[in-house]
């Protein structure tokens, strides 16, 4: 984990060929059985191998705004409501569950209306 990265206004700098950012202080957490870790999900974090001889079990709870892509493990939205929805509403309600077919309704609308698009990188290679 990297303390304070949820407050950054600029992308993290990750050196080419590396997996961790170079411009932040990293912490390798070492937790004991029955420990709980609660953190803001925008903090830079990655999975680490379990080097112990005991099985590691993890329970994750999270809150996500409706505009965030749903996780495949969430309950499906109401089918009757989705059946009546236009493609944009369907996308916003999370009606696209096929992870191999991106929902393009909002992208198509933005293209038709010439909405300027600006890509904001999450990380940069240095």
Q: Domain span at residue 20? A: 1-63
Any domain includes 31:
yes
The per-residue pLDDT for range 20-65, each reduced to its tens digit, is 888 888 888 888 888 888 888 788 888 777 778 888 777 777 665 5
> Do 35 and 59 belong together in one domain?
yes
- Per-residue pLDDT band for 112 (boundaries 50, 70, 90) equals very high
pLDDT for position 85: 92
Could you say which of 63, 80, 101 is where a domain stops? 63
Cα-based torsion angle of the residue sequence 41, 47, 52, 54 in order, rounded to the nearest 10 degrees: 70
What is the per-residue pLDDT across 64-108, written as a single tens digit (0 to 9) for each?
A: 555 555 555 566 778 899 899 998 888 888 777 665 666 688 888
**Number of domains present in the structure of the chain:** 2
**Number of Cβ within a 10 Å radius of residue 88:** 13
Q: What is the pTM of this model?
A: 0.47
What is the pLDDT confidence band of residue 15, given thresholds at 50, 70 and 90? confident
Same domain, 54 and 3: yes
pLDDT at 120: 64
| Residue 83 counted as domain residue | yes
- In Å, how far are 80, 86, 110 from 103, measured between CA atoms? 19, 12, 13
Please report, for residues 19, 27, 82, 103, 126, the alpha-carbon distance to residue 24 in angstroms, rounded to integers and kept in the order given.
13, 10, 43, 35, 14
* CA 77 – CA 90 distance, rounded (Å): 9
């Amino acid at each position: 984990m990297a303390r304070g990265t949820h407050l950054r206004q600029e992308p993290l700098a990750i050196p080419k060929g590396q997996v961790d950012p170079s411009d932040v202080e990293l912490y390798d957490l070492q937790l004991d059985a029955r420990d709980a870790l609660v953190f803001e999900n925008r903090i830079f974090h990655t999975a680490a191998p379990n080097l112990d001889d005991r099985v590691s079990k993890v329970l994750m709870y999270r809150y996500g705004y409706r505009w965030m892509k749903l996780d495949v493990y969430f309950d499906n939205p109401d089918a009757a409501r989705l059946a009546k929805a236009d493609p944009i509403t369907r996308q916003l309600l999370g009606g696209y569950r096929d992870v191999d077919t991106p929902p393009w309704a909002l992208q198509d609308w933005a293209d038709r209306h010439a909405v300027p698009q600006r890509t904001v990188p999450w990380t940069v290679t240095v």
